[in-house]
Structure 1
Amino acid sequence: MSQLFISCAPAMEPLLVDELATLGIPAKPGRGGVRAEATLENAYRICLWSRLASRVLWPLIEGPAQDAEDIYALASQVLWPSHFDVSCRFAVDFTGSNNEIRHTQFGAMKIKDAIVDVFREERGKRPEVDLKQPNIRVNAHLGKQGLAIYLDLAGKPLHQRGYRASAGEAPLKESLAAAILYKLGWHKDESLEYLVDPMCGSGTLVIEAALMRGKRAPGLKRDFAFMNWAKHDPALWNQEVKAAIEAALPIEAKFFGFDSDKKVIEKARNNAKAAGVGRALTFNHQALKDLGDKPGQRGLILCNPPYGERLGDMAEVLYLYRELGVKARNFMGWRLGVYTGAPESLRQLKLLKANQWQLNNGAIECVLASYELDERQGEAKPDTETVQQAVLTGPVEAFANRLKKNIKALEKWAKREGIDAYRLYDADLPEYNAAVDRYGDWIVIQEYAPPKTIEPEKAARRLQDLIVATVAVTGVKADKIAVKTRAKQSGSNQYEKLESRQQYFWVEEYGVRCKVNLFDYLDSGLFLDHRLTRKWVGEMAKGKRFLNLFCYTGTATVHAAKGGAMSTTSVDMSRTYLDWAEANLRGNGFTGREHQLVQANCLDWLNRTQEKFDLVFVDPPTFSNSKRMEGNFDVQRDHVELLERISHLLVPGAVVVFSNNKRHFKLEKETVEALGYQVEDVSKKTLPEDYKRNPHIHVCFKLVFQP
């Protein structure tokens, strides 16, 4: 008995077996699909009714195949003109491999050659190949048992129902949406009267739920490849279509989709209209925080929140989950389903899980979690409860209290000093090993890499709690929080790009505007611990020729220019940071030849320049092995040589401000003094108020050149 192969996504095979049973079609699960008796009635019914299947494959031939000749010979045994006309355009899909056949394109080509040759022999002419829009699609799979060749009766995958003209950024396939609903019991639990998706995107989950509840056949609004098949029986097909139309039920208006994006809500409405369920579904523009009470006694609240694939988005995603957990308590008596590619975020819901299934979204590993919103979740809190109140309990409360205390101590100071960017928290508590910085209306959380003795899951949980509590305490919107992981850096890693958002804005310090970028790089463009040092440089700069070595984004140069420097020269290897420095100068009104920006290896430039300077700021990296350098630079090993080269550019009485961030750095004082420098350690004097909890953040020396 020949058998259909009905393909589906991994892990959906048991669901598909159950679904086909409801259609009166016994099936057995296999890998990547199920098998059922190959009758036209079965094939038509599956194409018309299956919400889970991807393709319906009609068997043509199978047999042993070791090499290209075997594949060609087996495919040549099929009387292809008995299946489709020479006027039909066709394509061949080939999967699998063996020791001889390693490339699927090669396998597909051998079958194509066989089809063309059979047509030439039988009809005297050949059909054309069309890979994009074929009338007939042939499917072949090479496995351990040999080669199986099928006719793909669906053509386009069955998840393409024909109603989704537009989608959001990360749409769910319709078949995956149906699988989610099946797993949660929507298709058989009639007590679930209502469905609410508070983050509906283009509406796929809501639409599929309505089609399911209204017994609407998902294949009614599309065409199929079997309509071009010579063995197609139009009368039988029309009979199946008529039965499907008659099976449809009225759909009550108990389906609601909400989203914070107006554009995708409009797409959802259009998709619902195209699916024929537009009048029964309500789609509104609404943020999760504005989600109201349940519309009825029993229903399903279901959503597919953002996955937060970029670390910088973690705060927004975690806070969304926490907010969902709070809002879900207004739906007591309902069931909650959350489909996510970030399963570690589910704990932010603070709900007892009833079940969880692995259900991948293509290559993305995802889970579906189910929650019964009943007495096990505890009493629903009064409407006055907010996410802020919900997050500040448990172990994270100590962090929240410390952060509140620091904010109270620093906010007035920062306002008085005229500072927009400053540190709020710096690993004050060992359990929460991170730094929290404020940049105007934005927050940056930098996690310090946890020691190997801490379990990764435990460290991840602590970071999540810290992020959510930071949102609650600071009141900064979650979409204005950047999250980074700060491990020990080597070479130029700290300057490498993390993202490419190109999202810049300005902050002020002591009357100087500084351009920052919180997402694209490990550092923001503004070293906060050197704030007092920059101010001090500006105070010394009047009438001076100023040099900024390893200038980074040139913020010290801007302070010098504002302080009245006669000229400024800024040197760095990076074109990106020199452009940034130019923007900083221009943003503060400084342009012209007196402000030079030089792209060069600082050590090489020192050897060849003939200029003289009265004031130098040098803040070299701890270590650098940039591709633009012949060797490498180590600040502990090479600082004497660096200062010696700088000394050749100095006039008597010139001041060098030398700083770096190497822990346990030791200045070779006697050797440096022998170069003609008077040495004063000003590390404590240059430590800003917000860094006094971390006195070893940098070292800084005032070197007066008196040869």
Structure 2
Amino acid sequence: MLEFLITAAKGLDELLLEELSSICPDSQLKSKPGQVIMFAEIEDAYKVCLWSRLANRVLLKLSDGPVSDAEDLYKIADKVNWPTHFGTKNTFVVDFNGTNQQINNTQFGALKIKDAIVDQFTTFFDERPSISKIAPDIRVHARLWRDNLSIYLDMSGRSLHQRHYRSKTGLAPVKEHIACAMLIRSGWSKNQHLPLLDPMCGSGTIVIEGALMAANIAPGLKRDYWGFSQWQQHEESIWQALISHAKQQISKPQTKIYANDIDLGVLALAKENAHNADVFDFIQFSHQDVSHFKLEELEPGYIVCNPPYGERLSDSAQLFPLFQQWGAWIKQHFVDWHMSLLTSNRDLLRQMKLNAKKEYQLMNGKLECQLVNYVLDQQNCQAREVKLIQNDFVNRLTKNLVRSKKWLKSQNTNCYRIYDADLPEYNVAIDCYADWLVVQEYAAPKDVPEHVAKRRLHEIIAALPQVTKVNPDHIVLKVREQQKGKNQYQKVAQTRQMIEVFENGALFKVNLKDYLDTGLFLDHRITRQLVQQKSKGKDVLNLFAYTGSVSVHAALGGAKSVTTVDMSNTYIDWAKENFQLNKLQGAYHFEQADCLTWLGQHKQKYDLIFIDPPSFSNSKRMESTWDVQRDYLDLVKDAVACLNTNGSILFSNNLRQFKLDEAALGDLGLAVSDLTKQTIPEDFQRNPKIHHCWLLTKES
């Protein structure tokens, strides 16, 4: 008998053992995590390649031995008589897995084994086979576990989950062998006379694998590339006999299989894949919203589905209500069905308010997932009141909203902060923009496990619609780390969706989704008012202007002229739109330029200059790097040269540790007034270091 190693995804080894017992009943099997060792004949290995719905690879063991140093790798590989497996005209590649104290680099390990193979051919034939990483004739696998190395010939060539019917995939596709595991774990594979439904089918993998099962189609029939095809010990007659027998086993399914998706594009892809797999006629496709999906099927069956995970946390705000609505619909229209859902976000499934019967751990690619089974009996489908979980965050947010309502009565704005990491364990900032919310998650401290931070964020997202009464579709989630320079302006999406907000008589366009910042710094609300009050009849310059909100307030304050300067064309255009929105016409100038270079060469004089530079910048458009603590004095010096007598500079920045040198500014003829405390709005009082602000007045 030969020794084979059959590999599978983590969590499938138990199912794989059962499957192999059925495919090769006369073989000897031993299960290990993620693999099964099989002692069998070559025909059995072919059967596994052809019929296994769960395996990844079928590996024939060629050699093994202990490893104490790098030369042992060479010796173990050299024990194999390689010319009996392939020739000099064949191509090959070596895959190496595992490390230990002696061998800590897989590329080095692969190289030593490759050298042993090549040297053997060179010695015997004075020529050597070539290496090919793309579709090699022979694939050699080396696996190092602790101090033992095993070398295998890959019979499968590529992972067996590649059935060769998928031309493309949708977002977050489930792999074919995982789809089969879902169908087995759900119970449907043993009850194939009952209907199968995937209401969010995506590219159709689950229903296609179900149809292949129901039609008894061997999953390997469509594959045209095998690791044994160029193997010199390959038994072609045995293989062809197995192929012929497999084709004879195909039958028309007696079950009903349904596939649905709301996206017409991926639904077309699912149909194409089903056609490629020769099972299109066995599946009924439909295009409906899953929250209102109807099925004219009297007999309960099995729902098996890979719904959206919300793996990107920014999706959670939209997915939570979807699962709530879907759960309510399921309880009304799918009583007595069984349901199995794959997810990497268990909190999403909890929104359905259903009691799970069983959970299984699975790996879908590199993603840790759970397959959750439900029995949708009468008791489980009873309507449950969705109660808001009272926790510290909910209580604090509720208090903040009550306080904000009182404070807002004296304000003239519909954009403000309602929560700013008030509780360290709920480390987010929440801003209101009209009827939208922007949630910015700060990077969790290193001592907080990722799963804990994620769970807390889900609690926040689940609570916000109920506490604030904001539509879940109007909640935007962003993950934010401490940024340097203008990194805070970097794009994170491309929706180009703008909404209008108002503040103290001014209107602004904000973009809540495409950038980490929205186009309006809320902590500068009072600062902008101050500029407006000081601008009447004056020539005003706004440097590092961003989207021009300060310039708008200066113009509304009756400025004689306003010059707006920023390095970004995008923000200069945005500033112009803000001026148009406020119907402002006059001596208003917009300059796209590096503010530092532009100011150093500028000769015009101003009465009021507003400067809010980044903390750090190394933009390619700048002639050098910028560090606000290092370089601000040179910037102020250039600004003073452009300042009229008795003119003033409003200087601000958000570097927490920034230190202002008042003596040095005095030498420049400037009187200094610290306005930091009076320019921080009440909704930012929790974070008094959100910015610094000084009024620098040129003395006569």
User: If the TM-score is normalised by the length of the shorter chain, which range does it land in?
Assistant: 0.7 to 0.9
Give the C-alpha shift of residue 204 in structure 1: 1.0
Q: Structure 2 vs 1, CA of residues 45 and 565 (structure 1 numbering), >3 Å: closer, same or farther?
A: same
2:629 maps to 632
CA distance in structure 1 between the partners assigned to 2:483 and 2:111 by the alignment: 50
Equivalent pair of 1:492/1:626 in contact (CA under 8 Å): yes
Q: 1:43 aligns with which of 36, 41, 45?
A: 45
Q: 1:546 aligns with which of 529, 532, 540?
A: 540
Q: 1:333 aligns with which of 333, 336, 345?
A: 336
CA distance in structure 2 between the partners assigned to 1:102 and 1:446 by the alignment: 40
CA distance in structure 1 between the partners assigned to 2:626 and 2:231 by the alignment: 67
Helix, strand or coil for the counterpart of 1:163? coil
Equivalent pair of 2:546/2:575 in contact (CA under 8 Å): no
Equivalent pair of 1:253/1:279 in contact (CA under 8 Å): no
CA distance in structure 1 between the partners assigned to 2:331 and 2:195 by the alignment: 16
Equivalent pair of 2:489/2:517 in contact (CA under 8 Å): no
**Residue 612 (str. 1) matches residue 605 (str. 2):** yes
Deviations 1:568-598 (A, max 9, x none): 34467xx45x751453126635899943455
1:563-582 mapped onto 2 (5 Å cutoff): 565-570=559-564, 575-576=567-568, 579-582=570-573
CA distance in structure 1 between the partners assigned to 2:429 and 2:536 by the alignment: 35
Deviations 1:201-248 (A, max 9, x none): 111122112222333211122132323333333333233334333433
1:362 maps to 365
Q: Structure 2 vs 1, CA of residues 406 and 454 (structure 1 numbering), >3 Å: closer, same or farther?
A: farther
Helix, strand or coil for the counterpart of 1:588? helix
1:558 maps to 552
1:525 maps to 519
Q: Structure 2 vs 1, CA of residues 361 and 452 (structure 1 numbering), >3 Å: closer, same or farther?
A: closer
Deviations 1:333-383 (A, max 9, x none): 2222222222343333322222223212232222222222234435147xx
Helix, strand or coil for the counterpart of 1:365? strand
CA distance in structure 1 between the partners assigned to 2:449 and 2:6 by the alignment: 43
CA distance in structure 1 between the partners assigned to 2:639 and 2:515 by the alignment: 29
Equivalent pair of 1:678/1:704 in contact (CA under 8 Å): yes
1:12 maps to 12
Q: 2:233 aligns with which of 218, 231, 234?
A: 231
Give the C-alpha shift of residue 65 in structure 1: 5.1
1:423 maps to 416
One-letter identity of the residue aligned with 1:255 = I
One-letter identity of the residue aligned with 1:180 = M
Q: 2:510 aligns with which of 507, 516, 532?
A: 516
CA distance in structure 2 between the partners assigned to 1:225 and 1:666 by the alignment: 67
**Residue 175 (str. 1) matches residue 172 (str. 2):** no
**Residue 203 (str. 1) matches residue 216 (str. 2):** no
1:384 maps to none
Deviations 1:166-204 (A, max 9, x none): 11133222112222223333322457x222223221111
Helix, strand or coil for the counterpart of 1:160? coil
1:21 maps to 21
Give the C-alpha shift of residue 462 in structure 1: 5.7
Give the C-alpha shift of residue 564 in structure 1: 5.5
Helix, strand or coil for the counterpart of 1:345? helix
Identify which range, 256-265 or 552-561, moves more after superposition: 552-561
Q: Structure 2 vs 1, CA of residues 111 and 434 (structure 1 numbering), >3 Å: closer, same or farther?
A: closer
Q: Structure 2 vs 1, CA of residues 404 and 267 (structure 1 numbering), >3 Å: closer, same or farther?
A: farther
One-letter identity of the residue aligned with 1:359 = L
Give the C-alpha shift of residue 160 in structure 1: 0.8
Equivalent pair of 1:199/1:258 in contact (CA under 8 Å): yes
CA distance in structure 2 between the partners assigned to 1:269 and 1:219 by the alignment: 20
2:309 maps to 307
One-letter identity of the residue aligned with 2:375 = E
Identify which range, 395-404 or 349-358, moves more after superposition: 395-404
Identify which range, 114-123 or 523-532, moves more after superposition: 114-123
Identify which range, 16-25 or 528-537, moves more after superposition: 528-537
Equivalent pair of 2:523/2:684 in contact (CA under 8 Å): no
**Residue 150 (str. 1) matches residue 152 (str. 2):** yes
Q: 2:280 aligns with which of 278, 281, 297?
A: 278
Give the C-alpha shift of residue 154 in structure 1: 1.3
One-letter identity of the residue aligned with 1:7 = T
CA RMSD in angstroms, aligned pairs only: 4.9
Equivalent pair of 1:20/1:26 in contact (CA under 8 Å): no
CA distance in structure 2 between the partners assigned to 1:633 and 1:120 by the alignment: 64
Equivalent pair of 2:561/2:587 in contact (CA under 8 Å): no
Equivalent pair of 2:492/2:516 in contact (CA under 8 Å): no
Q: Structure 2 vs 1, CA of residues 676 and 322 (structure 1 numbering), >3 Å: closer, same or farther?
A: same
Helix, strand or coil for the counterpart of 1:350? coil
1:61 maps to 63
**Residue 351 (str. 1) matches residue 351 (str. 2):** no
Identify which range, 12-21 or 531-540, moves more after superposition: 531-540
2:621 maps to none
Q: Structure 2 vs 1, CA of residues 605 and 165 (structure 1 numbering), >3 Å: closer, same or farther?
A: closer
Helix, strand or coil for the counterpart of 1:265? helix
CA distance in structure 2 between the partners assigned to 1:3 and 1:44 by the alignment: 13
The alignment-based identity, stated in percent, is: 38
Helix, strand or coil for the counterpart of 2:216? coil
CA distance in structure 2 between the partners assigned to 1:684 and 1:128 by the alignment: 74
Equivalent pair of 1:315/1:478 in contact (CA under 8 Å): yes
Equivalent pair of 1:553/1:581 in contact (CA under 8 Å): yes
Q: 1:599 aligns with which of 571, 582, 594?
A: 594
Deviations 1:43-101 (A, max 9, x none): 11111111111111122333445555544444444343433455433333233345554
Equivalent pair of 1:391/1:469 in contact (CA under 8 Å): no
Equivalent pair of 1:545/1:566 in contact (CA under 8 Å): yes
**Residue 445 (str. 1) matches residue 464 (str. 2):** no
Equivalent pair of 1:399/1:432 in contact (CA under 8 Å): no
Deviations 1:386-406 (A, max 9, x none): xxx847676698799889989
2:161 maps to 159
Give the C-alpha shift of residue 264 in structure 1: 1.1
CA distance in structure 2 between the partners assigned to 1:543 and 1:515 by the alignment: 26
Equivalent pair of 2:165/2:274 in contact (CA under 8 Å): yes
Give the C-alpha shift of residue 536 in structure 1: 6.4
One-letter identity of the residue aligned with 1:56 = V
1:187 maps to 189
1:386 maps to none
Identify which range, 676-685 or 222-231, moves more after superposition: 676-685
Identify which range, 624-633 or 641-650, moves more after superposition: 641-650
1:52 maps to 54
Q: Structure 2 vs 1, CA of residues 413 and 177 (structure 1 numbering), >3 Å: closer, same or farther?
A: farther
Equivalent pair of 1:352/1:376 in contact (CA under 8 Å): no
Helix, strand or coil for the counterpart of 1:139? strand
Deviations 1:2-21 (A, max 9, x none): 31111122232222111111
One-letter identity of the residue aligned with 2:478 = K
One-letter identity of the residue aligned with 1:525 = G
- TM-score scaled by length of structure 1: 0.78
Give the C-alpha shift of residue 40 in structure 1: 1.8
One-letter identity of the residue aligned with 2:346 = P
One-letter identity of the residue aligned with 1:22 = S
Helix, strand or coil for the counterpart of 1:165? coil
- TM-score scaled by length of structure 2: 0.79
CA distance in structure 2 between the partners assigned to 1:44 and 1:220 by the alignment: 12
Q: 1:245 aligns with which of 244, 247, 270?
A: 247
Identify which range, 232-241 or 195-204, moves more after superposition: 232-241
CA distance in structure 1 between the partners assigned to 2:233 and 2:30 by the alignment: 25
Equivalent pair of 1:515/1:584 in contact (CA under 8 Å): no
**Residue 495 (str. 1) matches residue 491 (str. 2):** no
CA distance in structure 2 between the partners assigned to 1:71 and 1:666 by the alignment: 60
CA distance in structure 1 between the partners assigned to 2:523 and 2:106 by the alignment: 58
One-letter identity of the residue aligned with 1:275 = A
1:385 maps to none
